[in-house]
Amino acid sequence: MKVVHVTVRGRVQGVGYRAWCAREASALGLRGWVRNRKSGAVEAVFAGAAAGVDAMVGACSKGPSGARVDDVLVHDAAETALAASGGGEDFLILETL
C-alpha cells in the first residue's frame, strides 16, 4: 500500500474540490480523507494501490472544473496519516482545519 499526504494550492475552495476529490478517490478504490485549510489550501491523504494513488495525485493537478491549481505538494506518509478519518475503509471529507 502507498500512502501520500497532498497539499493543493490555488483557487481550490468554493469550487467543489473536496467533493470532487472524494468521488475520484472512491472511484479509484482509495482510502483517506480531504479537507479545506483555513489558509485556502486543500489537504488530503490518499492510501491504496500505488497506481491508484499516482493517478489521484495526477488528477489533483487539474481538479474539478472551476478550480485553478497553482501548486501540488506531495509527501510520502505513513499509514498513521489515515487516523484523522478513523482509519476506516472509506474516503471522507473532514471539517476545515
Q: Could you tell me the CATH number of the domain that includes residue 7?
A: 3.30.70.100
Query: DSSP of 6-39, one letter per residue?
Result: EEEEEE-SSSSHHHHHHHHHHHTT-EEEEEE-TT
Domain residues for 23? 2-93
| pLDDT at residue 46 in the model | 97
For this structure, is 23 an active site residue?
no
Domain count, the chain: 1
Q: What is the pLDDT of residues 61-85, one digit of tens each?
A: 999 999 999 999 999 999 999 988 7
Catalytic residue among 11, 36, 37, 68: 36
Closest by alpha carbon to 20, among 95, 91, 83? 91
Per the CB < 8 A criterion, the answer to whether 92 and 22 are in contact is yes
User: 36 catalytic, yes or no?
Assistant: yes
Among the listed residues 11, 18, 35, 68, the single catalytic one is: 18
Predicted pLDDT of residue 85: 79
Burial class (CB in 10 A: 0-12, 13-18, 19+), 25: buried
